[in-house]
């Protein structure tokens, strides 16, 4: 046994989000555009989901392209450049390479090398999982500026004839830069998983099944919509409430509520459960963008800021939840 | 203490009324949730969740689709009470 003691890293007392940026898929896809193969209608989709259009990327656009565009906007907003970043986290479930990670390639594209780089697989909770990581990395002194990207090209995993989830989904990326702060900027993360409900949102089959039986074709997504609705509406509201309690704030202190953009009816039910006052600006980007999984929270946040519904320094309660099932919530100070 | 059929119906009527805006006396045993009360599957999940809380029972998601009428729900809930 060595007699030497090692030094452990320590970091700044506080972290915060320094800048946010996002991009949506370039194509506007209407409800009428997706209704045919599922024998649905604009009216039905609006009534059940609040979605009016979803944004989807063109065939040539990749998850990396979306990530890079969002990251550059976040860097600009933070007044930083690639070489200021020393860790890159990409949260995605739609990147086509098992390895190497999207984050390493993205770091190189941004001139952020030799930043530490890794991907996170937490579906629609990917962004809030990423913020939890970034906050911990900064405050532990492991990294100074962390780039967190939630990026998805969901349209690569949809089946136009599927009634359960495909018509909800859109493409986009949102990014945030997390760095040191003189004042508290990211509240405690309340997070968890429930793998007992792994089948509630799923891939039709594993890639290995496709190797056994090529006839199966490309895997796509499915969900048990009512199970997910009930879980999200009623079990996620207490998680969001706990994030407020742990941050030491009450609903009246919150400037914006930014839940994952899954379904407008889930959002409305959560507001009711949380008893949020009318003064809280609620993210409703789903109407235009659809469900973009890990990208939805930063995209919706950027919109609220751009529209002036909230301002820098206001508090936002954000909660991601989705396939796993997994979830993470935290209160943040808006950049 | 177990709830009687009458108590479950009255409690359910309040929950349905809160969710839909219908008067409680429109919530009768023979009414179909979908066809008569115009309740869609997402509203139905909301009603079921509130009923679970109110009556202290579990109604698994896969059983919800069998609850066609208000009477079906009342029977299910009274039967599910331990
Ligand atoms: C997906 C979702 C819109 C489906 O709605 P639903 O009301 O649960 O759908 P159901 O399967 O109960 O079907 C209800 C009726 O609508 C019909 N229907 C189902 N999907 C339809 C569609 N896409 N278009 C038109 N009609 C549809 C069904 O055939 C059924 O008709 P019937 O009663 O005559 O048989 C809804 O469950 C949902 O959005 N859940 C939230 C899940 C979510 O947001 N997940 C995101 C993951 S993070």
Report pLDDT digits (tens) over A253-302: 999 999 999 999 999 999 999 999 999 999 999 999 999 999 999 999 99
pLDDT at position B81 is: 85
A57, exposed or middle or buried, with CB in 10 Å at 0-12, 13-18, 19+?
Answer: buried
The DSSP bridge partners found for residue A178 are A17, A146
Q: How many other C-beta atoms lie within 10 A of the C-beta of residue A32?
A: 12
- Band of pLDDT at residue A80, cut at 50, 70 and 90: very high
Query: Which residues from B are below 8 Å from A269, CB to CB?
Result: 46
Cα–Cα distance, A181 to A48 (Å, whole number): 42
Domains of chain A with bracketed CATH: 14-181 (3.40.47.10), 190-333 (3.40.47.10)
Q: Best of A196, A229, A270, A325 to disrupt the B interface by mutation (most B CBs within 10 Å)?
A: A229
Q: Are A274 and A241 in contact (CB under 8 A)?
A: yes
Cα–Cα distance, A50 to A171 (Å, whole number): 17
pLDDT at position B2 is: 85
**Of the candidates A150, A148, A65, A147, which has an alpha carbon nearest to the alpha carbon of residue A109?**
A65
Tens digits of residue pLDDT in A16-59: 999 999 999 999 999 999 999 999 999 999 999 999 999 999 99
Is A124 considered catalytic here?
A: yes
Domains of chain B with bracketed CATH: 5-80 (1.10.1200.10)
Residues A179-198 have a mean pLDDT of 98
Residues 6+ apart with CB under 8 A from A258: A283, A297, A300, A301, A304, A316, A317, A318, A319
Is A97 considered catalytic here?
A: no
> Above 90 in pLDDT, residue A2?
no
Beta strand A190-193 with A221-223 is: unpaired
Query: Which residues from A are below 8 Å from B40, CB to CB?
Result: 47-48
């Amino acid at each position: 046994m060595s007699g030497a003691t090692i030094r452990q890293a320590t970091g700044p007392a506080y972290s915060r989000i320094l800048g946010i940026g996002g991009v949506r898929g370039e194509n506007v896809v209407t409800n009428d555009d997706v209704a045919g193969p599922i024998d649905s209608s604009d009216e039905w989709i609006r009534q059940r989901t609040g979605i009016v259009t979803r944004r989807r990327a063109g065939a040539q656009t990749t998850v990396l392209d979306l990530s890079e565009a969002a990251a550059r906007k976040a860097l600009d907003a933070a007044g930083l450049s690639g070489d200021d970043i020393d860790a890159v986290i990409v949260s995605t479930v739609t990147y086509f390479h098992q390895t190497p990670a999207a984050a390493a390639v993205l770091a190189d594209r941004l001139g952020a090398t030799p930043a530490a780089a890794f991907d996170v697989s937490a579906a629609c909770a990917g962004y809030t999982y990423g913020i939890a990581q970034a906050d911990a990395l900064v405050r532990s002194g492991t990294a100074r500026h962390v780039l967190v990207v939630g990026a998805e090209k969901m349209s690569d995993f949809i089946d136009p004839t599927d009634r359960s989830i495909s018509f909800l989904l859109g493409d986009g990326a949102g990014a945030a830069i997390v760095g040191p702060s003189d004042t508290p900027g990211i509240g405690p993360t309340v997070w968890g998983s429930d793998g007992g409900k792994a089948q509630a949102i799923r891939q039709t089959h594993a890639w290995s099944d496709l190797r056994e039986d090529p006839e199966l074709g490309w895997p796509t997504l499915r969900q048990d919509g009512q199970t997910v609705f009930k879980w999200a509406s009623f079990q996620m509201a207490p998680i969001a409430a706990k994030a407020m309690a742990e941050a030491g704030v009450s609903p009246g202190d919150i400037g914006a509520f930014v839940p994952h953009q899954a379904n407008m009816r889930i959002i409305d039910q959560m507001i009711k459960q949380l008893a949020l006052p009318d003064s809280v600006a609620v993210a409703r980007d789903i109407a235009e963008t659809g469900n973009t999984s890990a990208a939805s929270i930063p995209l919706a946040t950027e919109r609220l800021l751009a529209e002036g519904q909230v301002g820098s320094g206001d508090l936002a309660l954000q909660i991601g939840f989705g396939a796993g099932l997994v979830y993470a919530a935290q209160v943040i100070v808006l950049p | 203490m177990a709830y009687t059929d009458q108590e479950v119906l009255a409690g359910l009527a309040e929950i349905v009324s809160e969710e839909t805006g219908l008067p409680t006396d429109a919530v009768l045993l023979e009414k179909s949730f979908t066809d008569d009360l115009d309740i869609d599957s997402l509203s139905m999940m909301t009603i079921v969740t509130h009923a679970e809380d109110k009556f202290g029972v579990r109604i698994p998601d896969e059983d919800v689709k069998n609850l066609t009428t208000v009477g079906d729900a009342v029977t299910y809930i009274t039967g599910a009470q331990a």
